[in-house]
Chain A
Amino acid sequence: MQFSDFLDLFQGITTLIASQPHIIAARLGLMLLGMVLVYLGKKGVLEPLLMIPMGLGMAAVNAGVLFLDPTTAGHIVNGSAALADPALQQKAVEMAAAGKAHGTLFMSPLVEKTDSLMYILQVDFLQPIYTFMFSNGLIACLMFMGIGVLLDVGFVLARPFLSMFLALCAELGTVVTFPIAVAMGLTYKEAASIAMVGGADGPMVLFTSLTLAKHMFVPITVVAYLYLGLTYGGYPYLIRALIPAKLRGLKMPPKKTVKVTADEKLAFAVVGCIVLCLLFPSAAPLFLCLFLGVAVREAGLKYFIAVIDGPILYGATMFLGLTLGVLCEASTILDPKVLLLLVLGIVSLLLSGVGGIIGGYLAYYFSGRKINPVIGIAAVSCVPSTAKVAQKEVSNVRPDAIILPEALGANICGVITTAILTGIYVTLIPLMK
């Protein structure tokens, strides 16, 4: 028995030592980042529902690397798309045959060939979730269904002009980041995917990147969710920086309380869903799921509501977080474009926030200084975080000022506008050359 055989007992460490220096650094860095995400999630700085499973998954997948047996490694190497360099491909095949290939028992996202995929489905425990829920966008659609159940489109129907105007302004980042990303060297498809971060809607970014830039969807989606977690902490500073306290405390004139009926909301959901599906069939799954949630809510189907806003929404959120974390394996995520994505993601989200506030100011002036400009930031469609942030900032200055109904209208319209922009990008970008 040799010392190396003893080390094989602890293959996580052995594979770490046997890796190239940049992989060692990335694995250690990602384990540390995973722990930080769990900590920040627990502290409430980042969204705990996503960050705790994501952080733990990230740490575990980079710790749990082992030497794969030749059969499994062979299926992964031969079942994935061949590497561009034939010499590297040959080396990978030889390593797999010798039982020296590194891998995990979590999932193998690059396997494409059916036979190999069937084998891997029986080995990697998260592979069924990835293959049947993640790579086809089902998990994004389930989350959207959950969001639909939480939405009250009555806020949009009661204030259509204000809501739509603010929602359009708050798409500034989504629109402007696209040419910036192209100028910085990304392809149209990659640029559109990272620009969607400005829409501040995680499932939409996931759907766009899975449809347009599947090779980059892991870093894009991870960047998106990390930043979306930051909106709750970062946007208050943006509001305070751009809107003086006097305007933040502006009390809006009281409005008559009249209810939009469930019939009207249901009819709007049906017409809206059909029209948007007809216009943008590529994003039809998203529209269907969003408006199905709205329809279930307005039809008062209590059992469905309980299933969708409980097990489906929270189950999808947990597995989304876990799968994203597990996808952050050092060898998968190491891409020179990640740094660029980090910059573009924050630019997009910042521009959308600024665009929303500009919209708020315009609404303030055009309404004869009656509308509180803070409402603008709520049009960034991170439901309902941005609406809550807006109300909180207003309440800090003047506790009796209520802007939540208007803020929710803009917020919900922001979701619909972002879904329309997703449809436009997913439809038009493949036609651009």
Chain B
Amino acid sequence: MSRFARLANRYWIGGTLAAFGGVALARLVAPSLEGKIRVYVTLAGQLLALAGLLVICIGVRQRLRATPEEDSARES
């Protein structure tokens, strides 16, 4: 697997988009709201941002699980 393909898989793209989407929700959308909904949107944004980072980690874990099989397939 090339360096770019390793980074540009769906987990990395999805995770990064989710993380920055969460930031946008918490820091851009939430301040324009008022009352309790503002708190909920802020919390949702922060959780989404952290979940995005988790998705990236899951992507790396998936790659680690897949790698030995690829290597062994190449060897055979």
Contacts and interface: CB of A to CB of B under 8 A. Distances in A.
Interface of A: 156-161, 164, 256, 258, 260-261, 263-264, 267-268, 271-272, 275, 278-279, 420
Interface string B2-30: 01001100001001100110110011000
B23 A279 contact: yes
A156 B57 contact: yes
A272 B49 CA distance: 9
Contacts of A272: 53
Given A157-B56, A164-B57, 18 more contacts: A156-B57, A157-B61, A160-B57, A160-B58, A161-B58, A264-B7, A267-B7, A268-B60, A271-B56, A272-B53, A275-B19, A275-B23, A275-B53, A278-B27, A279-B23, A279-B26, A279-B46, A279-B49
Contacts, number: 63
A160 B64 CA distance: 12
B23 A258 contact: no
Most buried by B among A158, A279, A420: A279
Contacts of A159: 61
Contacts of B7: 263-264, 267
Interface string B62-75: 01100110000000
Given A160-B61, A263-B7, A272-B53, A258 B26 contact: no
B53 A264 contact: no
Contact of B64 (A158, A267, A275): A158
**10 shortest A-B CB distances, which residue pairs?**
A160-B57, A157-B60, A278-B23, A275-B19, A258-B64, A258-B67, A157-B57, A275-B49, A256-B68, A264-B60
Contacts of A264: 6-7, 60, 63
A336 to B, nearest CB: 36
A123 B21 CA distance: 52
A263 B5 CA distance: 12
A256 B70 CA distance: 14
21 contacts: A157-B56, A157-B61, A160-B54, A161-B58, A164-B54, A164-B57, A256-B64, A258-B64, A260-B60, A261-B6, A264-B60, A267-B12, A268-B56, A268-B57, A268-B60, A271-B56, A275-B53, A278-B20, A278-B49, A279-B22, A279-B26
Nearest to A261: B6
A417 to B, nearest CB: 10
Nearest to A159: B61
Interface string B44-55: 001001101110
A160 B54 CA distance: 7
A159 B61 CA distance: 7
B27 A279 contact: yes
A174 B49 CA distance: 22
Contacts of A279: 22-23, 26-27, 46, 49
Contacts of B16: 271
B36 to A, nearest CB: 15
A271 B61 contact: no
A16 B45 CA distance: 58
A190 to B, nearest CB: 24
A263 B7 CA distance: 8
Contacts of A268: 53, 56-57, 60
A31 B16 CA distance: 54
A275 B68 CA distance: 31
Contacts of B15: 271
B53 A271 contact: yes
Nearest to B56: A268
A291 to B, nearest CB: 12
Contacts of B58: 160-161
Contacts of B54: 160, 164
Nearest to B64: A258
Contacts of B60: 157-158, 160, 260, 264, 268
A246 to B, nearest CB: 30
B47 to A, nearest CB: 10
A278 B16 CA distance: 13
Nearest to B16: A271
Nearest to A417: B50
B37 to A, nearest CB: 17
Contact of B19 (A256, A260, A271): A271
B14 to A, nearest CB: 12
B52 A275 contact: yes
